[in-house]
Structure 1
């Protein structure tokens, strides 16, 4: 296996894609809907994409904020090879400005690219294989902003039979979206709220491009995806908004798309907002199920009922979970209920044992 500390490109040397020149001489980044317009030596809002002369540079290529082996349920993905291990990593920066960011020390970093560990795509893939990980996840900060790096890692993983997972806010331009998801096997998309007013006020972005990504995933790809909504007290947790989101998912994406409602805790610029009560998560789950969604989960809480996968036909408990730990597993290797043989949406296989809820750091250079 290659040493994860193998040399990375020198900062500012990796060519970024998805840009064009404007008539006034500025360079427009087309990676995401922000369309940052850059003068020479300027960086985009994400911080890691920089104009240098006639080139766009991805300064985060080959640099990681650290590696951990997680249970796949932590992404969260409950229907993508449950119980399997995933090698997780991110870089630095973000193209959103979420006031409630829970990884703000990474996503808002302006120094991480020089401090982070060097790791090239082939070394990451070999590390995942060496640690018996079924997949590699791009997470902690949004892989949209390091798309070229993530795609190269995904290609290297596929060479070794390892799958690629994106944990993302889905805020991406059209061409980049096509290229990126052609390399991904699964995704969890953060649908942060269901009004444009919420997106503008609390993320500095807009809702429609995220909906466009979800529609693209459903209708134009074979990527398995699930949706997560972090419910923030008094901000995006009303019955009206939860119903509207659930109705849109059922109509536009289908009732088999898993939806995770997760609990907020005070962080970053919203430390004055209280944590999400369990009652809010339970209420949201009931509302979504009432709108026809078959697989609705609660997250960041101990809630066996809200974490369990039930058969959509006979309602037998098939995967019983407590937080990220699987307590019992009954889905057949072909992905059906063993009692009534109804298919369960997702990607399944032979289940031997679970990775568990623990997180294992992978130390650079070992």
Structure 2
């Protein structure tokens, strides 16, 4: 049970880490975001991360945040620093993170249509016809850095500054060369702040696997440097992989309260990718997902996101994901069946035709 520090309402659908209710975020955004910002500072301290840069100094440009980092300061991701008037990126060359082999079919946001789980695109993009690639693997790359600050993050522990795990390029390539590996998926954290490392690894892995099935996939918040994102999209498109955008909310104040990010960059990036590539049907190349956070991501948020997607292409796959309490928002309940059904109906009403509900076992009555 949480209390909104703006209007005073007490409800099980108000998280104390956010500190405000959905209605106040929409109707009194400036006041509400000042409260929510305090929750993000607490979250970052818990992970050993620096506070967000306040502006001034050198512009990074590595991702879509375009942090301006003052002398002696660090970027939002914690990897880039301003040392004696120049930007130093030691974590980008040997980034924090780890990789593991995940047997097909995997628990992937795109598993309901991807080649690894369904055989879609056989024989060019899948080794299996009409079903999962059993006996084969996805190389899951979990980066230990992110350029958002989601208070509900389910991989929050990989972002701890003291995690100590490194992901050298050679070690990653050695695993990618295994012929039983049919795809690599970069997530985390997020690959956006580590795009140089991820793109180089992808290019070298594809070269070494020329003539075999090897897909490059991304699961991202979309807060990328535009040019690097288009290169990542190109690698996925050519290899039969999938670019998965996690569209967290539509209302700017809601998005910022939950993530400390700007949704305009994300939605503009999505639209730009969609305009540059043929949105093939089998296997789909571009998809989106939204986590149904109780009390914050309601049917309105979903309908607006779905309307944006439908305005591009009504057949863009859209996954609605059930929420389970985690990290700083462990005081919320799981997604209810009613919330999930209302979200599905909202997405259909907006015009989308390919909608999927993920993690339905988490739903409460």
Task: Report the TM-score when normalising by structure 1.
Answer: 0.69
What's the CA shift string for 1:70-110, capped at 9, x where partnerless?
34652311333133431101221211111111111113x11
The separation in 1 between residues aligned to 2:307 and 2:143, in whole angstroms, is 35
Structure 2, unpaired ranges of 5+: 1-54, 118-131, 280-284
Give secondary structure in 1 for the equivalent of 2:327: coil
How many residues get paired?
274
The answer to whether the 8 Å contact 1:257/1:293 transfers is yes
The separation in 2 between residues aligned to 1:75 and 1:88, in whole angstroms, is 10
Using the TM superposition, give the Cα deviation of residue 283 of structure 1 relative to its aligned residue in structure 2, in angstroms.
Answer: 2.9
Q: 2:76: which partner in 1? A: 45
Q: 1:164: which partner in 2? A: 216
Using the TM superposition, give the Cα deviation of residue 58 of structure 1 relative to its aligned residue in structure 2, in angstroms.
Answer: 4.1
Deviating beyond 4 angstroms after TM superposition, the runs of 4 or more aligned structure 1 residues are none
The answer to whether the 8 Å contact 1:157/1:163 transfers is no
Task: Report the TM-score when normalising by structure 2.
Answer: 0.69
**Greater fraction of residues in helix:** 2
The separation in 2 between residues aligned to 1:32 and 1:199, in whole angstroms, is 18
- C-alpha RMSD of the superposition: 2.4
**Of 216, 235, 250, the match for 2:310:** 250
Q: 2:62: which partner in 1? A: 31
Q: 1:8: which partner in 2? A: none
The answer to whether the 8 Å contact 2:140/2:184 transfers is yes
Using the TM superposition, give the Cα deviation of residue 286 of structure 1 relative to its aligned residue in structure 2, in angstroms.
Answer: 3.0
The separation in 2 between residues aligned to 1:94 and 1:214, in whole angstroms, is 18
**Greater fraction of residues in strand:** 1
Give secondary structure in 2 for the equivalent of 1:48: coil
Please list, as runs of the form range in 1=range in 2, the aligned pairs for 1:186-335 lying within 5 A after superposition. 186-221=242-277, 224-237=285-298, 239-251=299-311, 253-302=312-361
The answer to whether the 8 Å contact 2:60/2:87 transfers is no
The separation in 2 between residues aligned to 1:57 and 1:64, in whole angstroms, is 12
- Residues 89 and 229 of structure 1: is their aligned pair in 2 closer, same or farther, counting only changes over 3 Å? same
What's the CA shift string for 1:287-312, capped at 9, x where partnerless?
32343322100111249xxxxxxxxx
Give secondary structure in 1 for the equivalent of 2:255: helix
The separation in 2 between residues aligned to 1:93 and 1:207, in whole angstroms, is 19
The separation in 2 between residues aligned to 1:189 and 1:156, in whole angstroms, is 24
The answer to whether the 8 Å contact 1:191/1:229 transfers is yes
What's the CA shift string for 1:303-359, capped at 9, x where partnerless?
9xxxxxxxxxxxxxxxxxxxxxxxxxxxxxxxxxxxxxxxxxxxxxxxxxxxxxxxx
Using the TM superposition, give the Cα deviation of residue 156 of structure 1 relative to its aligned residue in structure 2, in angstroms.
Answer: 1.5
The answer to whether the 8 Å contact 1:60/1:91 transfers is no
The separation in 2 between residues aligned to 1:247 and 1:144, in whole angstroms, is 25
1:57 aligns with 2:89: yes
